[in-house]
């Protein structure tokens, strides 16, 4: 068991209306290379904050403490990659990075890349990072250990809940996927476009040739999420983070997307962090489950053990609150007391 990512004492505080709100209060866990780890919790548990922190996507103004150690030494990137000089300098000690302003004007290649990324990662609160904005978005990843920071898009693929807001509405989806490949894999545009077509086939979009030229609004919700996944894995990231990636989809499409994620993760040997509010869905996919509550890790364990013998009362509560197809209907429970 080698850790791809070690999270130690991760603390995040947001500032809202002048009040500091803690979102994560010292969370520590290791993400094992090649595993499917689910992070579950209710609203306010910090599960999305954790995902955003790992991806370096926390909104400006978030205060971060603790360390994230990324094992880039085991990197098995398809080819060596020189990080663009425009990347913000990362102080190895304590999290704070020079903001994007320090990077002065980013190189042209980076600008395209970030534009593509922005298309993918737009739903940050309070930001409208349209393509026109270009440049490096504000990112404040926490301290990274001895190795260089993982780069979003190249090392980490991120799939958001709402593909309608994570895809650029005025750019053909093929181009959005190709941009990621072009930026991170040093491909020529025709190569990147061919890669985009292969990716659309891999995510099983019907008729990839015409899908390449389709705009997001011409696709269904499930198809858009397939496109977002194709873009997320375009550069062959080692870690795929799916943040409530199926929550806006209906049950049938959700099951299809979960199956797709499972297949792609297995085929590419990716590590998966699957963020969900749904303990049953998480259990159907994950090797291990981490339960967060109010910014703290309350339980972490193998899926089967955690489901069958939860150690923490809160985990038990989540299991009891789950209304499965074998649960005793509330109608009966009520009828008994009536």
Partner 1 sequence: MSVLAVSSLTKRYRRGSKPFAAVDDVSFEINPAETLALAGPSGSGKSTIARLVLRLIEPDAGRIAFEGADFLALSGAALRARRARLQMVFQDPLAAFNPRATVARVLDDPLRIHNIATRAERPRRIAALLERVGLDAGLAARAIHEISGGQRQRVAIARAIATRPSLIVLDEAVSALDVSVRGQILELLLDLQRQERIAYLFISHDLGVIRAVAHRVVILDAGRIAESGDARAVIADPQSAIGKALVAATPRLTRSRP
> Which residues would be at the binding site for partner 1 (CB under 8 A)?
42-43, 220-221, 249-256, 277-281, 283-284, 303-304, 307, 317-319, 321-327, 329-331, 334, 338
- Rank residues 144 and 279 by Cβ distance to partner 1 and give the closer one: 279
- Rank residues 36 and 131 by Cβ distance to partner 1 and give the closer one: 36
- Rank residues 221 and 301 by Cβ distance to partner 1 and give the closer one: 221
Distance, C-alpha 251 to centroid of its chain: 21
User: Least CB distance from residue 282 to partner 1, whole Å?
Assistant: 8
- Give 256: exposed, middle or buried? Use CB within 10 Å, 0-12, 13-18, 19+: middle
Tokens standing for residue 65: 């403490």
- Rank residues 97 and 249 by Cβ distance to partner 1 and give the closer one: 249
User: Least CB distance from residue 304 to partner 1, whole Å?
Assistant: 8
- Rank residues 132 and 331 by Cβ distance to partner 1 and give the closer one: 331
Sequence-ordered strand ranges (E) for the chain: 3-16, 19-32, 36-40, 63-70, 143-144, 156-159, 239-243, 271-276, 288-293, 296-302
User: Least CB distance from residue 338 to partner 1, whole Å?
Assistant: 6
- Rank residues 232 and 286 by Cβ distance to partner 1 and give the closer one: 286
- Give 148: exposed, middle or buried? Use CB within 10 Å, 0-12, 13-18, 19+: middle
SS3 for 191? helix
Tokens standing for residue 229: 């996944």
User: Least CB distance from residue 175 to partner 1, whole Å?
Assistant: 24
CB 196 within 8 A of CB 171: no
User: Least CB distance from residue 328 to partner 1, whole Å?
Assistant: 8
Q: Phi/psi at 297 (nearest 5 deg)?
A: -80, 115
User: Least CB distance from residue 329 to partner 1, whole Å?
Assistant: 5
SS3 for 290? strand
């Amino acid at each position: 068991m080698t850790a791809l990512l070690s999270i130690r004492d991760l603390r995040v505080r947001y500032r809202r209306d002048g009040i500091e709100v803690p979102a994560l209060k010292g969370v520590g866990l290791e993400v094992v290379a090649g595993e499917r780890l689910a992070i579950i919790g209710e609203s306010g548990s910090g599960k999305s904050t954790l995902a955003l922190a790992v991806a370096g996507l926390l909104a400006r103004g978030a205060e971060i403490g603790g360390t994230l150690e990324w094992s880039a030494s085991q990197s098995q990137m398809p080819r060596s990659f020189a990080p663009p000089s425009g990347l913000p300098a990362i102080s190895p000690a304590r999290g704070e990075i020079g903001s994007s302003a320090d990077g002065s004007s980013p190189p042209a290649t980076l600008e395209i890349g970030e534009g593509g990324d922005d298309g993918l990662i737009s739903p940050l609160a309070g930001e409208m990072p349209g393509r026109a904005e270009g440049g490096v978005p504000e990112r404040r990843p926490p301290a990274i250990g001895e190795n260089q920071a993982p780069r979003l898009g190249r090392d980490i693929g991120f799939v958001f809940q709402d593909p309608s807001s994570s895809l650029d509405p005025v750019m053909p989806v093929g181009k959005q996927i190709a941009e990621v490949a072009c930026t991170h894999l040093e491909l020529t545009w025709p190569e990147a476009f061919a890669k985009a077509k292969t990716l659309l086939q891999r995510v099983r979009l019907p008729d990839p040739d015409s899908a390449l030229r389709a705009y997001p609004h011409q696709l269904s919700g499930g198809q858009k999420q397939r496109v977002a996944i194709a873009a997320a894995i375009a550069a062959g990231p080692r870690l795929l983070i799916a943040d409530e990636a199926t929550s806006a989809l209906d049950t049938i499409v959700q099951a299809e997307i979960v199956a797709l994620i499972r297949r792609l993760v297995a085929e590419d040997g990716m590590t998966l962090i699957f963020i969900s509010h749904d303990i049953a869905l998480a259990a159907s996919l994950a090797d291990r489950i981490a339960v967060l509550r109010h910014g703290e890790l309350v339980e972490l364990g193998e899926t089967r053990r955690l489901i069958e013998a939860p150690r923490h009362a809160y985990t038990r509560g989540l299991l009891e609150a789950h209304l499965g197809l074998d649960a005793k209907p509330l109608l009966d429970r009520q009828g008994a007391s009536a």
